[in-house]
Amino acid sequence: MLITKKDFGRTKKGENASLYTLTNKAGMKAVVSDFGAVLVSLFVPDKNGDLKDVVWGYDKVSGYENNGVYLGSTIGRNSNRIGKSKYNLNGKEYTLDKNDGQNNLHGGFDGYNARLWSANTDEINNSVKFMLDSPDMDQGFPGNAKISVTYTLTDDNAIKISYEASADKDTIFNMTNHSYFNLDGESSDSVLEHQVLINADAFTEADAESIPTGKIIDVTDTPMDFRNYRVIGKDIDSDYEPLKFGAGYDHNWVLNKTEGAVAKMRSLNSGITMEVYTDLPGMQLYTGNFLAGEEGKNGKKYARRSAACFETQYFPDAVNHENFQSPIFSAGDKYKTETIYKFTVES
């Protein structure tokens, strides 16, 4: 399929940003930018055959330069939180930006989502590959790193996000995509009626600052049990400490090993179901609890809890917990992972 490219404006640094549009045989479209390697739009057919843009974003590159809520963002080197903004690696303590209270969130202030990446298009595979060089001690992480994120739109209505990276020193790699999804499209102001399924028997307990305690908690008989479809809004404000701490759902689930989807979200209104596939051990479900009044596409102000994120990842603060799978990669080793968001329609 033909991949189109158009201007997306100039950054504050005077860089020219571009938009790339991928289209498949079913008419689905994915729009991505070399600024931040962000997912800008995702047009998916609903039960009536109408295309709905199911991700929140901005009309101009300037929006992504000031993207404090990480709409559509590629996050790196480390997604989610590192407690007290410090970690030890090979006997040395490293300190990071404190951009979430005393903690580090999504790498720090100078995020990968606010940098211009280089781009290569591949019309045979209907994909765009974004590449970034991250120097030694960038954001407080050791090693000169070469990083790539590839978006591929398949003919069975899936957007594949493939990450690859390596560095010349031992370092952390734990990248994710922070898109906010609402399967009813831009006309919707709430995701609370959407239904979610997560193939996970447990979640990682966290404190009031969303830093894991190290404990793994069984979801049985709790509002965190999404092993069968659960309406997001059903228990989101229940008297349950983890939900009070997160002001709603903003937690990491311990994914069951499975060949199929690790999570699903569906809207009975649009008929769209989104399936999530990953090879990573965890996934953060975030229900936009702090998304309030952010002005996005077409001047729309995105309401609190108007969309949900499905952030595949190593567990938050994994570098500081020996019982969590480690996000540390040795010098020269390749970090390679893939997350897929696939869309189907039920009439």
Digit-coded pLDDT (tens) for 127-153: 999 999 999 999 999 999 999 999 999
Domains recognised in the chain with CATH numbers: 4-345 (2.70.98.10)
pLDDT over 90, % of the chain: 97
The answer to whether residue 309 scores a pLDDT higher than 70 is: yes
Interatomic CA distance for residues 276 and 339, integer angstroms: 7
Mean pLDDT of 319-331: 97
Interatomic CA distance for residues 134 and 144, integer angstroms: 6
The answer to whether residue 347 scores a pLDDT higher than 80 is: no
Which of the four pLDDT bands, split at 50, 70 and 90, describes residue 258? confident
Q: Which residues pair with 133 in a beta bridge?
A: 146
At residue 299, the pLDDT reads 94
- 302-306 CB contacts, 8 Å cutoff, 24+ apart: 302/56, 302/180, 303/189, 303/190, 305/190, 305/191, 305/192, 305/232, 305/233, 305/236, 305/248, 306/56, 306/180, 306/182, 306/188, 306/189, 306/190, 306/191
Average pLDDT along the chain: 97
Q: ∠ CA 123-127-131 to the nearest 5 degrees?
A: 120
At residue 1, the pLDDT reads 65
Closest CA to 204 of 150, 270, 148, 253: 253
At residue 9, the pLDDT reads 96
Q: Which residues pair with 325 in a beta bridge?
A: none
Beta strand 81-82 with 195-198 is unpaired
Which backbone phi and psi does 64 adopt, to 5 degrees? -75, -20
Instruction: Give residues with Cβ within 8 angstroms of 19, minimum separation 6.
Output: 5, 6, 7, 8, 31, 32, 33, 40
**Residues labelled as active-site residues:** 178, 311
pTM of the model: 0.97
At residue 105, the pLDDT reads 97
Tokens of 253: 């689930």
Q: Are the C-beta atoms of 180 and 291 separated by less than 8 Å?
A: yes
Instruction: List pLDDT tens digits, range 63-121.
Output: 999 999 999 999 999 999 999 999 999 999 999 999 999 999 999 999 999 999 999 99
Tokens of 252: 């990491």
The answer to whether residue 2 scores a pLDDT higher than 90 is: no
Instruction: List pLDDT tens digits, range 138-196.
Output: 999 999 999 999 999 999 999 999 999 999 999 999 999 999 999 999 999 999 999 99
Which of the four pLDDT bands, split at 50, 70 and 90, describes residue 346? confident
Instruction: List pLDDT tens digits, range 272-304.
Output: 999 999 999 999 999 999 998 899 999 999 999
